[in-house]
Amino acid sequence: MDALLSALADPARWRLVSLLAERPRSVGVLAELAEARQPQTTKHLQTLERAGVVTSRRTGQRRIYALRSEPLRDLAAALAGLADAVEQAGGPHETYDRYGQSLDAERLAARGPGWADGRAFTFVRSLAARPESVWRHLTDASLLAQWWTPDDLRVSELVFEAHPGGRIVHEYRDAEDADGSGPVVGRAEGVVVDVRPGERLAYRNSPRLPDGSRAFTAHVAYTLRPTDTGTDLDVDFRITDSTVDSADFVAGIEIGFGQSLDKLAATLATDPS
């Protein structure tokens, strides 16, 4: 496939392929139609033949070249597979586009300090685990680290002291930055406000801008309600202290925090203990 792509990447060779798609032709005719010198045309055709996309045979004084359909169909299938992946409903490319739309809107709205103050988000999840298990996943740093980032990120540092006044540090990197050699993608610092084991957890958390200053303050409250099948989790997320530079963070709250909660739900569905 690499040889085929390399061969087709040259505009002159692509022109020859287009001419051969119409009918097999001789080197001389191809050079004339392509408005090129015959020696150069011969070299291009030899490259295409080595790549397997054309074949040739000598007939009398002429060498006739013909296009082979199989490599082109293989390439078309590979390209169609890539396009299908991009268009997958609910996939990462759709999320990327949604975030882009939100990003444009929030950047336009961020006209001055406090622009997003009072903005609120509500998330609801039905979890297949009892409240005590959900509580552990909300407060135990080792369990929290398994789900407390969007799909394309991973936790690289986490401190969560589950008592009023307890410290929160949440640092994250790209999910594929396995060895930590890339830059820190984000960092947030905060404090735990309210702790009622198995019932309610509240904290304040502030994402940090690249210069270390606060982007905004998130006031987050989890309410746990036992059900016959597990736990209903309600999350209230409210913004204060928003800065103009916080638009990129605000744009990702609904998608990113929602993905985190989906990871929590999937984790508990696999191991509800």
Q: Is the predicted pLDDT of residue 103 greater than 90, yes or no? A: yes
DSSP 8-state symbol, 230? S
pTM of whole model > 0.95?
no
pLDDT digits (tens, 9 = 90+) for 54-92: 999 998 888 999 999 999 999 999 999 999 999 998 889
What pLDDT does residue 264 have? 97
Crossing angle, helix 27-34 and helix 38-50, to 10 degrees?
A: 110
Interatomic CA distance for residues 42 and 4, integer angstroms: 17
What pLDDT does residue 13 have? 97
Which of 36-45, 86-95, 190-199 shows the lowest mean pLDDT across its residues? 86-95
Torsional class of 102: left (φ above 0), alpha (ψ -120 to 50), beta (otherwise): alpha
Is residue 124 very low, low, confident or very high in pLDDT (cuts 50, 70, 90)? very high
Query: In angstroms, how far apart are the furthest CA atoms of the chain?
Result: 92
Q: 3-state class of 123 per DSSP?
A: strand
Q: Roughly how many angstroms between the first and final C-alpha of the chain, as a whole number? A: 48
The pLDDT mean for the chain works out to 96
- What is the rounded average pLDDT of the residues 106-134? 97
- What is the rounded average pLDDT of the residues 118-135? 97
pLDDT digits (tens, 9 = 90+) for 141-150: 999 999 999 9
Interatomic CA distance for residues 202 and 223, integer angstroms: 9
- What is the rounded average pLDDT of the residues 96-105? 96
Where do the H-state alpha helices sit in 197-252? 247-251
Reading the block at residue 79, the tokens are 């390209």
Q: Is the predicted pLDDT of residue 127 greater than 80, yes or no? A: yes
Spell out the domains of the chain, with CATH numbers in brackets.
2-86 (1.10.10.10), 113-270 (3.30.530.20)
Is residue 256 very low, low, confident or very high in pLDDT (cuts 50, 70, 90)? very high
What pLDDT does residue 60 have? 87
What pLDDT does residue 273 have? 77
- What is the rounded average pLDDT of the residues 88-108? 94
Q: Which long-range contacts (CB under 8 A, 24 or more apart) does 35-42 make?
A: 36/12, 40/12, 41/16
What pLDDT does residue 4 have? 95
